[in-house]
A and B are shown apart, each in its own frame.
Chain A
Amino acid sequence: MKRFATILLGIMAMGMPLSVLQAQEEIGTIKARMGTRLSAIGTLKSSRLVGEGNKGFLVILKDSLTAEQKALVDQENADRGKVYQYIAAKTGSTPELVGQRRAAQIAVESAPGVVYQDSAGNWKTK
């Protein structure tokens, strides 16, 4: 009985760090996925078909995107949302704040020609 209780306690103790490891594994998978999209997203941005919104998400600027391109934008935004939620939980903030801070970083770091939205909602070109 004592042995059983010890084993059970050990399993329960593993439960907490396992969930943390699972979150880290998932975030690693998300990062890898985002890495595979870099080139395609970059092409959309340089063509000014999409821009970087002030909430940290891609925004479609023209209606001429193909269904495949729209799906790519949706997938990227879904992954960004998960990253913002993860960081919000880790830092005690909100996904909205994390998205806004990421948008501010992107506005500074973007190469010339990228269309982005400033904090006041105005669209600008780098």
Chain B
Amino acid sequence: MSGKFLPVLLGTGIFITVQTGCIRVKSDPVEVKPIEININVRVKVDRELDNFFNDLDARDASKKAGN
């Protein structure tokens, strides 16, 4: 039994080593998170709203003075 056991064990060990050596690790591509895109768009929107409405709001009595 010991005559066959060692070769079997060795063969199994070689098999496992070869299989693990064939494993490829793949990393996911870098992606921009949606929340970052949303914040950028919000900033742009707020800026455009300010550009359009600033002088109207300055003349609007229903808005607080000094805004």
Contact = CB atoms under 8 A, between A and B. Distances in A.
B59 A102 contact: no
Nearest to A101: B45
Contact of B63 (A27, A87, A93, A109): A109
Contacts of B67: 108-109
A16 B57 CA distance: 32
A76 B65 CA distance: 22
Among B59, B62, B63, the one with the most A-chain Cβ atoms within 10 Å of its Cβ is B62
B32 interface: no
A91 B57 CA distance: 21
B41 A41 contact: no
Contacts of A108: 67
Contact of B49 (A38, A87, A114): A87
B64 A111 contact: yes
A31 B46 CA distance: 17
- Main secondary structure on A side of the interface with B: helix
B44 A38 contact: no
24 contacts: A31-B56, A34-B56, A38-B60, A45-B62, A46-B62, A87-B48, A88-B45, A91-B45, A91-B48, A92-B41, A92-B44, A93-B42, A97-B42, A98-B45, A101-B45, A105-B49, A106-B63, A109-B63, A110-B62, A110-B63, A110-B64, A111-B63, A111-B64, A111-B65
Interface of A: 27, 31, 34-35, 38-39, 41-42, 45-46, 83, 87-88, 90-93, 97-98, 101-102, 105-106, 108-111, 114
Given A93-B45, A98-B49, A102-B53, 6 more contacts: A27-B52, A31-B56, A38-B60, A46-B62, A106-B63, A109-B67
